[in-house]
Amino acid sequence: PVVVRSAADLGDAPGNRLDGLVIPGGESTTMSTLLVAFEMLAPLRELIGAGLPAYGSCAGMIMLADRVEGAQEGQAFLGGIDMTVRRNAFGRQIDSHEEDLRVEGIAGGPLRAVFIRAPWVEEVGSDVEILATTRAGRAAGASGSDGGRIVAVRQGTLLATSFHPEVGGDHRVHDVFVSMVTRRA
């Protein structure tokens, strides 16, 4: 792994310096502010557009969305996944929770998901693969396979989850991303 702290750390093309990028959870307005301040927004958009595999969890999912409900005025995103994401959709910090998810395209049975002030996906475009939904509740226009909120998606070289698989200790989502990176390399 390589820590990315400046535009110089990115390289000029996918594979030049980075084979893949993980965009972690955190606070999406802060991420947006820092990407602009460190002049990394445009170079990252270019790399993602050129096919750099990227995985975003929680706030990282928000950053990879083409459309965001509840965004702060002027907040910038990387985009790349044809989806509408709602920030803090599950509620405040006190509403954080865990749930076992049925997942599509990831072997091994239910996936334990930890949601911390998490977003959810309101709707997806036709090229977006829905990998996991919650058990109950559906967003208008969303088509979760089990009728729940969409919480994991993949489109091309991009993967996003609204939960934190690193907290739950189940590494299957990370394995999927590593597989996406190694296929591209």
Active-site option among 46, 104, 123, 166:
166
- DSSP, collapsed to helix, strand or coil, labels residue 179 as helix
Respond yes or no: is residue 123 known to be catalytic.
no
Tokens standing for 91?
A: 């509620």
Respond yes or no: is residue 164 known to be catalytic.
yes
Respond yes or no: is residue 129 known to be catalytic.
no
Report which DSSP code applies to 49: H
Number of H helices, E strands in the chain: 5, 10
The residue type at 49: G
> Are the CB atoms for 117 and 128 separated by under 8 Å?
no
Question: Looking at the annotation, which residues are catalytic?
Answer: 58, 164, 166
